[in-house]
Chains A and B, each alone.
Chain A
Amino acid sequence: MPRGHSPLQSEMVQGTLDMLILRTLVLGPAHGQTIAHAIEQGSEDVLQVEHGSLYPALHRLHHRGWIASFWGTSENNRKAKYYRLTPEGRKQLASHKSRWEEVVRAISRIMNPAPEKKR
């Protein structure tokens, strides 16, 4: 069955959504909707989080033990599932971040090559 592609999955390096979720949760526990908002607003709406991939990603992180979940009440008194960062998740975020920065540097070196020295 053909599956839909979310912008994040198709356009960005795999694992990026995970990293963004972890980064968002550094600020404190949040439910799915808040996380999506935070990513969209933080990227000035450049990154659109398709919720179809958000939830599987949340569950994936949960299974890895990088985030934990609990049921709480949302801003407008709805029952909602909140996620928070675990110490393991914090470690993973750090390593993701440094790897990400490496990749970004590498890509930008390719995209904007330094002018070759003249012989």
Chain B
Amino acid sequence: MNWRRFFTRAQADAELRQELESYIDITAEEYVARGMTPDEARLAAQRKLGNLTRIQEEVYEMNTATFVEATLREFRHAMRMLRLNPAFSITAILTLALGIGATTAIFSVVYGVIIKPLPYPKPDTVVWVGHSALFGTVRTPNFPFSPQWLVTYAENNRTFQELGIWTRGTAAITELGDAEQANTLFVTQGTLPALGIPPTLGRWFSHADDQPGAPETVILSSAYWQRRFAGDPGVIGRVMTIDSRPREVIGVMPARFSFLGPSADLIVPLRLNLAQPPPDFNYAAVARLKPGVTLAESNADVARMLPIYKEKYAGNRMDSLQLLPAVRPLKDDVVGNVGQLLWILMGGIAIVLLIACANVANLLLVRAESRGQELAVRTALGAGRLDVARALMVESLTLSLAGAAIGVGLAYGGLRILLAHAPSSLPRLNEITIDLPVLVFAVATSVVSGLLFGLVPIAKLASPKFVVHLPEFIRSGTRWASAGKSQHRSQNFLVVVQVALALVLLISSGLMIRTFQNLRKVEPGFTAPATVQTLRISITPGQLAEPERVTRMQSEILDRLAAIPGVTSAAFVSTLPMDPFGANSIAPAEGKDYGNVAPPIRTIKFISPGLFKTVGTRLIAGRDLNWVEIYEQRNVALVSESFARQEWNSAENAIGKRIHVGVTGPWQQVVGVVADIYDDGADKKAAAIVYWPARTQEFMIGPPFVPRSVAFAIRSSRTGTESFLHDIRQAVSAVNPGLPLFQVRSLQEVYDQSMVQTSFTLVMLGIAGAMALLIGIVGIYGVLAYAVMQRQREVGIRLALGAAPGAVKGMFVYRGMILSAAGIVLGVAVAAGITRWMSSLLFGVTPIDAATFAAAAAVLVLAALAASYIPARRASIVDPVKTLRGE
């Protein structure tokens, strides 16, 4: 076997021919020398050489991988056959392209989000160092990390190679074009080394950078560096004004660097005082394990160090939390809870692909029948059953690979649309691409599909039964009549499977529709969110140091906003309703015994007066705050209805009771109770919320507190218009031109965002369901249309004998209905078995919801009726005379 020759066949052949010709020439010359005439000599020489072709063939075989060769030949033959029958080929290839394309697109998401390792060196050793804690009856898996733990673990651990803590926030960048609020990652020195991605320019933070009092530094993200510095490598050493303080740029991260959550523009050292670490719990920790250390060992290590921490810092205060170590792969936190959702979508799309395969198998069956003669002739000429099977399989694979080629194109386009509409809460969006593993998946999928639907005609045509019938075929030249019955059985089976699978998808999308409806029905705790404009403004300590002046500036902004024409009211709050980035803490009620465990975790918000009026939250008991209470820092508070019920059994009872936030702190008196807001999403229980005045003497154990970053809510019918935003910008810059607005959106957008995961699932499953329905219906139509064509003669006779066209029509529609009925029974059974996998995505509807099942079945029946009616009608208008004469 000579591969070079194999691939340069033409050249090798020419060379051999030339060699043999030169032989004939030389021999002929000899013969001439011996006295023959040139013609005789040439003939004699040729005789001596023997059969030229046979020599060529013999040499040829030496150079051939017979199997590969034959397969390539079959491939070329298959291409010819497909070109000969374009209607069939295009239908089959497009069906497959849709199935494979959709599967590939979703797989690229599954791969990019769930399967692909995190983009860090040795990603399995990068861990989230967490703790779980018990509050009330709930163990939260994500108790925030404290700098005191950082110090304890840094000194005592045996399993971490690097350890750092981080938090997110924003920072105002001024004196560099327009003022802007940049997403910022605040880290300690060990965080970036734990992730292990060095900057492309400059360096990581050193221990010195992370010390309070040292010159302040910043590392830029690649995107920000490109955007604001046009990728200038001379940026290192430049000084930027961040939150009104100068910071030297010491590094630029590479473009591939990404971390949990939204991409950060800036990375800034936390500069905690590690000699006396503050006792706050506002951070998350990331670590790189030492080589060979397992998660279990690391968890044991943390469990060993927790008592050291308690002895050194916390006294007995943390005992009631019942902390447990929770060191886990960072990927778990990156992927979060979308894993199941994506796998469900993947399953849905795989069903579409299966239906597509069944459809193509059906097409192939129909075609195989008309090709019986061709294959019979091949067999008669000496092709074995294996050769016939190979020919058929190569054709199927050609179809599926062509489908994959187009499908990858579709997937590429589809993925761009999908990513543009994907929920921003979907992690790792920037890592989703159609890369090599995805392409391998596409090819593997198409080969598996090809094998799957390719086996169906092979089972028919390469079977011994077929071979027995060969003589009839060749003799009569007719279609393979004797195979008709089993052929129908296979076709019917495939249609039933298609209908069943389509029904499963329809039911799944139906359940999502019901879920979405139910979510929309929940009153979120605010009204007409489309007419509430929101935006966020931060006032940094660099701009205004004194808390009181911050409050005055916020109040002045409110006055200006309220004076804009068309504004009915305005207020601010630390986190908007349904905004997931709120603050949590315990908020014990005075005189209440929580037993040995910590009180439950509550949502804490800081508000200005007028918030509830602005967003439309009902006041159930008591009254709202007023500005005097804020300026005088009176110890008052409002609570949500759930909070009041949980602590004091009713809203009315809450008035006059006292609570505080955190472990200690001044008692604040409840002056009002407001309606529940579904802060954690309409599908969750209403959050128990504590509303604190936007300025307090003391918050938890800290000094006088004022929220510096607040969201303004403005009720106006002008919400979202350009002119309104212009007025708002003017109003704010009249107060202070150095205040960038960010997160400008309507409350409706916040509300939609809270159910984006559900709507995304709904749309994706809806698309899958629609595709399934379409392909399944085409399947029913195809089989019936084929049956009509096949039984044209019979129908002609019936009509000639006086059968009513209606009865003929009924006959075919009946068959379509029987098939879909069988499919629906099967589909309902399958759906009842598998919809419980999606119960975590559902809200207000059980996975076996009778109404949804019935509705989906009804849709399918109607579609099937339409699909059967068209061919049935064609049968009923058969002209008996023409049909009978034609045969």
Name A's B-contacting residues (CB within 8 A).
3-4, 31-33, 50-52, 55-56, 59-60, 63, 74, 76, 78-81
Contact = CB atoms under 8 A, between A and B. Distances in A.
B34 to A, nearest CB: 13
Contacts of B20: 55
B29 interface: yes
| Chain B at the A interface: SS class | helix
Nearest to B61: A56
By Cβ-Cβ distance, the 3 closest A-B pairs, closest first, are: A52-B50, A56-B58, A81-B19
Interface in B34-89: 48-51, 54-55, 58-59, 62-63
Interface in B572-601: none
A33 B27 CA distance: 7
A56 B23 contact: no
A73 to B, nearest CB: 10
B273 interface: no
A118 B54 CA distance: 56
B2 interface: yes
B856 to A, nearest CB: 64
Contacts of A56: 55, 58-59, 62
B65 to A, nearest CB: 13
Given A33-B26, A55-B20, A56-B55, 20 more contacts: A3-B54, A4-B50, A4-B51, A31-B23, A33-B27, A51-B23, A51-B48, A52-B49, A52-B51, A52-B55, A55-B23, A59-B16, A60-B62, A63-B63, A74-B22, A76-B26, A78-B29, A80-B22, A81-B18, A81-B22
Contacts of B2: 63
B22 A52 contact: no
A53 to B, nearest CB: 8
Nearest to B12: A59
9 contacts: A4-B50, A32-B19, A32-B23, A33-B26, A52-B49, A55-B55, A74-B22, A74-B26, A79-B18
Contacts of B50: 4, 50-52
Interface of B: 1-2, 15-16, 18-20, 22-23, 25-27, 29-30, 48-51, 54-55, 58-59, 62-63
A31 B50 CA distance: 18
Contacts of B26: 31, 33, 74, 76, 78, 80
A50 B30 CA distance: 17
Which of B18, B19, B54, B55 counts the most A-chain CB atoms under 10 A from its CB? B19
B59 A78 contact: no
B22 A79 contact: yes
Nearest to B5: A63
Given A32-B19, A32-B23, A55 B29 contact: no
B55 A78 contact: no
A33 B45 CA distance: 11
Contacts of A4: 50-51
Contacts of A76: 26, 29
Contacts of A59: 16, 59, 62
B55 to A, nearest CB: 5
B26 to A, nearest CB: 5
B19 A55 contact: yes
Nearest to A65: B2
Contacts of B16: 55, 59
Contacts of A31: 22-23, 26
A63 B62 contact: yes
